[in-house]
Amino acid sequence: MISAYTGTQVRHAEEPLLAAGLGDVLMQRAAHGLAVAVIRELKARGLRVYGSSVAVLTGKGNNGGDGLYAAAFLAARGMRTTAILTADSAHPQALAAFERAGGRVRHLSDAAPGGLAADTARADVVIDAVLGTGAKGGLRGSAAALIAAIAEARTGSAAPGFVVACDLPSGVDADTGEVAQPVLAADLTVTFGAAKAGLLADPGADFSGRVEVVPIGIEENFERPALRRLDDGDIAALLPRPERRAHKYSRGVLGVVAGSADYPGAAVLACRGALAAGVGMVRYLGPPEVADLVRESCPEVVCSTGAAADNRVQAWLVGSGMGPGDHEQLQRARDAVESGLPVVADAGALPALPDALAPHVVLTPHAGELAALLQRLGGDEDRAAVEAGTLAAVRRAAALTGATVLLKGATTLVAAPAGGVFGQSDGTPWLATAGSGDVLAGIIGALLAQLGSDVEHFGKAGVEPGARWAAVAALGAALHGKAGRAASDACLGGPIAAGGIADSLPHVWGKVSTLSNGGIRKRNSHSQPLR
Ligand SMILES: NC(=O)C1=CN([C@@H]2O[C@H](COP(=O)(O)OP(=O)(O)OC[C@H]3O[C@@H](n4cnc5c(N)ncnc54)[C@H](O)[C@@H]3O)[C@@H](O)[C@H]2O)[C@@H](O)CC1
Ligand SMILES: [K+]
């Protein structure tokens, strides 16, 4: 499990060591880890360390101190180092160490910003150490203008070098992932002590690149994470496995209420997703013409036109491919939610359900649907506001509805109403294709049918009972992302259609279930890559 924390939690974790007078030791560890990561990245890109250039942009706080100490290490390894001081002061000991190591200092206040930006953008490595977890708001004034100019100089021109964010990209909120422009997008973020929640939620994740954690000795001092990510080891541990004497009913039966005359294909794709995700049986309920199509495409599915209450299932999937005019289907969806069984409620079902729900109901909106849900509950967020603050929006929706809420996106967030949040980023942008969400709903429905009643199963994987529905949904999102990526990889990174996600899932499932803990691969003793 990858755990991420807020800036405040990190500061609390540091407090005992700071009180013991170890502040400089922590900074040296952070800086050393940053320098090692830069060297490794240079080598991975086939660049020499000796003689390569590094420009470190520094602010006046400890984040700037980390950057200056790291640059001092790099100067000692023979790199051509320049520090650009963006504030009127800099961490004094770190600046002294940098100058002793032979680094060159330039002051933003003394230089023509255009020339400074052009020089910086040409460096082999740019380290962004302007703002860290102590920042209030984004970059301002001349520092903002400089970063904007560097970002512009790097886009369009085939900029040779790469950008490393020190702890987090300046302008990204460590707690929420909200972004105050301008932000210099990083290729690599080297973060200290623990991942910050804002690096693993959109839009912060858009600017963070690959995230590596450098341990600095505060790791034992954390309590409840603000955000968690299932790694391959967790996924392997959580995947359902049939017992030797299992039969189709004991394996889990999923009832699917999806599709309509306008969108019959959604029912087929939801069923294909469910069948690929190990369910014992799928029962489809819907209009006869949709049922015919489901039978034709998926002969494994048992179809009926009856009421929800007449069908024995372990979980329901409702809403994919349904609209406000599909009264009979919407009634089945409401009946399914009232049954007390686990339900994944997608698309057309979202506006039709009661305001007060329970954790075993998993809502799967995209940003626009989440905005509509929040507005119905009295909020004023529009789609853009949800996209600008995904973590806050998904938490709010879970708290207001009492349901588990999964917000679809490049990073899929799942919030439990009791407070825990999972964030998965396993996919590829090719997953943004029609029908992809129907397959996701099918996968999550199948997992609910198989795992819904097994509380102990989650305890073994370190998931507390209150977060288990969120963990099921996160598991579904992870499998969906991995299956989409595998389908694209099989086409050398080419495009995929939604059906291809379902087709590649069994292989992905088999591959990941053989892993014991492949998610965090330790590259060395200093850092752990997160993605
Ligand atoms: N506290 C510690 O012991 C450690 C801290 N570390 C580093 O220290 C960072 C946190 O340090 P700080 O608390 O000094 O925070 P920052 O480095 O973010 O700097 C805060 C300083 O910048 C100013 N500031 C705040 N918002 C600003 C804005 N929008 N524009 C311009 N200036 C602004 C403040 O007046 C303050 O002086 C972490 O991100 C991490 O990089 C690491 O060295 C590990 C150990
Ligand atoms: K930074």
| DSSP one-letter string for 106-169 | EEGGGS-HHHHHHHHHTSSEEEEES--TT--SS--HHHHHHHHHHHHHHTTTT--SEEEEESS-
326 CA from centroid of ligand 1 (Å):
55
Ligand 1 nearest atom to the CA of residue 14, by list position? 3
The best mutation among 25, 63, 189 to test binding of ligand 1, ranked by most ligand atoms within 8 Å of the C-beta, falls on 63
- Are 477 and 412 a contacting pair, CB within 8 Å? yes
List the structure tokens of 406. Answer: 């999964």
pTM passes above 0.80: yes
Numbers of helices and strands, H then E, in the chain? 19, 20
The residue whose CA is least distant from atom 22 of ligand 1 is 61
User: Does the interface ipTM go beyond 0.90?
Assistant: yes
Asked whether 523 lines ligand 1 (CB < 6 A), one says no
Distances (CA, A) of 300 to 151, 249, 280, 287, 371: 53, 14, 10, 18, 37
Sequence-ordered strand ranges (E) for 230-300: 253-257, 281-285
pLDDT for res 528: 52
Asked whether 133 lines ligand 1 (CB < 6 A), one says yes
CA distance 61 to 73: 19
- Are 366 and 409 a contacting pair, CB within 8 Å? yes
pLDDT for res 157: 63
Could you say which ligand is closest to the alpha carbon of residue 64? Answer: 1
Give the CA count within 13 Å in the CB-facing half-sphere of 389. 13
Sign of CA dihedral 229, 233, 235, 238: negative
CA distance 10 to 191: 11
Residue found by looking up tokens 């990510």 in the block? 229
Sign of CA dihedral 285, 289, 290, 292: positive
Asked whether 21 lines ligand 1 (CB < 6 A), one says no
CA distance 477 to 444: 8
Ligand 1 nearest atom to the CA of residue 167, by list position? 41
Q: CA 331, 307, 283 angle in degrees (round to 5)?
A: 110
According to the annotation, is 482 in a ligand binding site? Answer: no
Sign of CA dihedral 109, 115, 121, 123: negative
- Are 170 and 147 a contacting pair, CB within 8 Å? yes
Ligand 1 nearest atom to the CA of residue 174, by list position? 39
- The one-digit pLDDT tens for each residue of the chain (531 residues) are 999 999 999 999 999 999 999 999 999 999 999 999 999 999 999 999 999 999 999 999 999 999 999 999 999 999 999 999 999 999 999 999 999 999 999 999 988 878 899 999 999 999 999 999 999 899 999 999 999 999 998 886 666 799 999 999 999 999 999 999 999 999 999 999 999 999 999 999 999 999 999 999 999 999 899 999 999 999 999 999 988 898 888 889 999 999 999 999 999 999 999 999 999 999 999 999 999 999 999 999 999 888 998 889 999 999 999 999 999 999 999 999 999 999 999 999 999 999 999 999 999 999 999 999 999 999 999 999 999 999 999 999 999 999 999 999 999 999 999 999 999 999 999 999 999 999 999 999 999 999 987 878 888 788 998 899 999 999 999 999 999 999 999 999 999 999 999 999 999 999 999 875 433 333 334 455 565
pLDDT for res 529: 58
Asked whether 63 lines ligand 1 (CB < 6 A), one says yes
According to the annotation, is 65 in a ligand binding site? Answer: yes
96 CA from centroid of ligand 1 (Å):
18
CA distance 365 to 344: 11
CA distance 178 to 495: 30
175 CA from centroid of ligand 1 (Å):
14
- The residues, ordered by sequence, that sit 6+ positions from 510 with a Cβ below 8 Å of its Cβ are none
CA distance 252 to 337: 18
164 CA from centroid of ligand 2 (Å):
9
Ligand 1 nearest atom to the CA of residue 23, by list position? 3
According to the annotation, is 321 in a ligand binding site? Answer: yes
5 bridge partner residues = 196
Asked whether 12 lines ligand 1 (CB < 6 A), one says no
List the structure tokens of 455. Answer: 């509380």
Asked whether 167 lines ligand 1 (CB < 6 A), one says yes
pLDDT for res 523: 37
Q: Which residues of 258-296 are buried (b: 16+ CB within 10 A; e: fewer)?
A: bbbeebbbbbbbbbbbbbbbbbbbbbbbbbeebbebbbe
According to the annotation, is 297 in a ligand binding site? Answer: no
- The residues, ordered by sequence, that sit 6+ positions from 116 with a Cβ below 8 Å of its Cβ are 84, 106, 108, 146
191 CA from centroid of ligand 2 (Å):
9
Q: CA 42, 526, 518 angle in degrees (round to 5)?
A: 95
List the structure tokens of 81. Answer: 């180092």
pLDDT for res 524: 38
The best mutation among 131, 140, 218 to test binding of ligand 1, ranked by most ligand atoms within 8 Å of the C-beta, falls on 131
Helix (H) or strand (E) holding 363: strand 361-363
